Structure 1
Amino acid sequence: MRVGVLACLVVSLVAGCSGDTSSHLSIVADCGKLVFPDDVELVWYHREVMFGDQMTDAVVDIPAGEVEEFKKRSGMDKFDAGVPPGWREAWEDSGQAQLLMENAGNEHLVELNKSPTRWVVIHTGGNESRRVFIRSGC
């Protein structure tokens, strides 16, 4: 019995890591109930499925002029300044976590008491796009 559960877990993890960019964005959007703009760019993606629950992590670039619309259409309106210290580790594997250490006017949102759970950080590094760090549980 344990072998079957382990095999299922391995298959789920491998299936979550393969595929094309559009399917990965779709998985992140579905799990996090997010509405991305058409010109969003996926930088990094990771998905784990365990015992029927799914955790998706992603880093995306969104044009700076579309961030407010993304937040509004995704129902995210309670952002606070900065990045909680423990959050940097969540995106360590992305190779992008160092951006969260910069004091660049970052803002974050945490929604734990509803479904889906969402952790979002918007890095405002001053260029034409914003790097958005997303973790969703569904």
Structure 2
Amino acid sequence: MAEQSPHEFLNPKGWKPAVGYANGVAARGKMVFLGGHIGWNGQQEFETDDFAGQVRQTLDNIVTVLAEAGGRPEHIVRLTWYVTSKREYLDGMREVGRAYRDTIGKHFPAMALVQVVALVEDRAKVEIEATAVIPD
């Protein structure tokens, strides 16, 4: 049996349900804030220039750092994605979705995605900030 989410997902009455993200999340517990992570490994080396591959590595990095606080993917309440190409994101949706489900599961917190001109690391195609709340 699947574990019930420790958070309350907010979708106002009369609004169409959010697809692939939550309109809002209410949570109580230990707050964990993760700075922007990119698609390189723990040694700060890129293993791919593939967009979906960098997304997968970025999400893996988030899950790994979150585990240091005793958290799991279902404790994530917010993700902010910064991408250098909206087109690459949209064209790679199937692979990005697979990477997301493999890493985070079927947990869809409040999310935003913003296209930016560039990221500090020239090879980075995506940077993701995360906020998690680990239940008391």
TM-score > 0.5 by shorter chain: no
TM-score using structure 1 length: 0.29
Higher helix content, 1 or 2: 1
Higher RCO structure (Cα 8 Å, ≥6 apart): 2
